[in-house]
């Protein structure tokens, strides 16, 4: 039974600073990515029920466009199946106040799914991290990572997570266009383009450790050209980000959000005031832990 009546957690967005594609296996692309959660989050609240039913509802950014069968609901159903002794005869009402834009490469649906798992685990006193990670991995490539967040290196299809300590805090100006990019379509466009892209993740980790914020010059994303093909606004945002930051810039995930790197929040806020484009501009910082 529930240990508490209501639990609220913050489900943080993520930014990929590198995204190398190393091949394919079992229908999935093999990735190597330097990633960090950032201080933009959805709020997930789970309230215990006593009738075995579970509901998921959304408010906030993009709530009206989220389909009835969504990752948050799948997470709740999977949790119920795996931890049936503790959960199935109780249930929960889950509300998600969304601030992470959908289709921007910031991990919105994966963050929500991970947040649901964390909230339900706290609500029902579940501490089995191995089974929680297995559920998360079944829901999407980023979901297992977003159970914990922080700086990490993601490999495989994104399910293999190696936390990275002693990384600098980066301030980022996120530039988020009105139109997103479909992740499956972006990977398909990457395959179709058949371009070569030298792996950057190992180099980027070393540069950040040695040079701090200046190491951001080593960032890069193999999906950038494919995302620009699908959404030309990505190229515009990358050009604008390059003009704003002397440290580095790039695109996260499969797009469409781009970022410019700064050494402090003061610098980031200054750049946001200077920005004259049409994208939504948000200042965030790295290293947040779920």
185-208 pLDDT, tens digit per residue, is: 999 999 999 988 999 999 999 999
| Residues whose CB is less than 8 angstroms from the CB of residue 170 and which lie 6 or more positions away in sequence, other chains included | 36, 213, 216, 261, 262, 263, 285, 286
Residue tagged active-site, from 14, 20, 32, 42: 14
Under DSSP, the state recorded for 177 is: -
| Predicted confidence (pLDDT) at residue 161 exceeds the cutoff of 90 | yes
For residues 154-182, average pLDDT: 95
Q: Taking phi first (over 0 means left), then psi (-120 to 50 degrees means alpha), and beta for anything else, what does residue 186 get? A: alpha
Pairing of strands 258-262, 249-251: antiparallel
pLDDT 10s digits, 221-240: 999 999 999 999 999 999 99
Q: What's the confidence (pLDDT) of residue 94? A: 97
Selection from 220, 224, 278 nearest residue 249 by Cα = 220
Query: CA quadruple 47, 51, 56, 59: dihedral positive or negative?
Result: negative
Q: State pTM to two decimals.
A: 0.94
Phi and psi at residue 277, to the nearest 5°: -80, -175
Report d(CA 102, CA 122) in Å as an integer.
26
The rounded Cα 42 to chain-centroid distance in angstroms is: 11
CA distances (Å), origin 2, targets 36, 126, 160, 179, 209? 32, 10, 31, 41, 43
CA distances (Å), origin 197, targets 28, 85, 181, 194? 18, 48, 20, 10
Report d(CA 42, CA 108) in Å as an integer.
8
Q: What's the confidence (pLDDT) of residue 154? A: 97
Residue tagged active-site, from 32, 142, 166, 203: 142
CA atoms within 13 A on the CB side of 196: 1
pLDDT 10s digits, 101-155: 998 999 999 999 999 999 999 998 899 999 999 999 999 889 999 999 999 999 9
Q: What's the confidence (pLDDT) of residue 52? A: 82
pLDDT 10s digits, 63-76: 888 888 899 999 99
Catalytic annotation present for 14: yes
Report d(CA 65, CA 134) in Å as an integer.
28
* pLDDT band, residue 4 (cuts 50/70/90): low
Catalytic annotation present for 85: no
């Amino acid at each position: 039974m529930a240990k508490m009546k209501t639990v609220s957690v913050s489900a943080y967005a993520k930014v990929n600073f590198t995204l190398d594609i190393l091949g394919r296996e079992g229908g999935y692309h093999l990735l190597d990515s330097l990633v960090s959660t950032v201080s933009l989050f959805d709020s997930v609240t789970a309230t215990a029920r006593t009738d075995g039913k579970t509901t998921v509802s959304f408010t906030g950014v993009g709530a009206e466009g989220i389909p009835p069968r969504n990752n948050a609901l799948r997470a709740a159903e999977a949790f119920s199946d795996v931890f049936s002794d503790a959960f199935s005869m109780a249930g929960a009402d889950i509300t998600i106040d969304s601030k992470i834009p959908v289709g921007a490469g910031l991990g919105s649906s994966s963050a929500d799914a991970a947040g649901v798992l964390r909230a339900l685990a706290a609500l029902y006193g579940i501490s089995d991290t191995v089974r929680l990670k297995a559920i998360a991995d079944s829901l999407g490539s980023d979901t297992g990572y977003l159970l914990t967040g922080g700086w990490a290196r993601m490999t495989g299809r994104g399910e293999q997570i190696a936390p990275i300590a002693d990384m600098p805090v980066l301030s980022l100006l996120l530039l988020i266009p009105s139109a997103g990019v479909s992740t499956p379509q972006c990977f398909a466009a990457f395959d179709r383009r058949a371009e070569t892209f030298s792996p950057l993740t190992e180099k980027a980790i070393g540069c950040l450790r040695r040079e701090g914020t200046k190491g951001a010059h080593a960032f890069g994303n193999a999906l950038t050209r494919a995302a620009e093909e699908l959404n030309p606004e990505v190229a515009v945002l990358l050009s604008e980000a390059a003009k704003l930051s002397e440290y580095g810039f790039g695109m996260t995930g499969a797009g469409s959000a781009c970022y410019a790197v700064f050494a402090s929040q003061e610098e980031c806020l200054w750049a946001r005031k200077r920005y004259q484009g049409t994208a939504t501009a948000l200042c965030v910082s790295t290293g947040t832990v779920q």
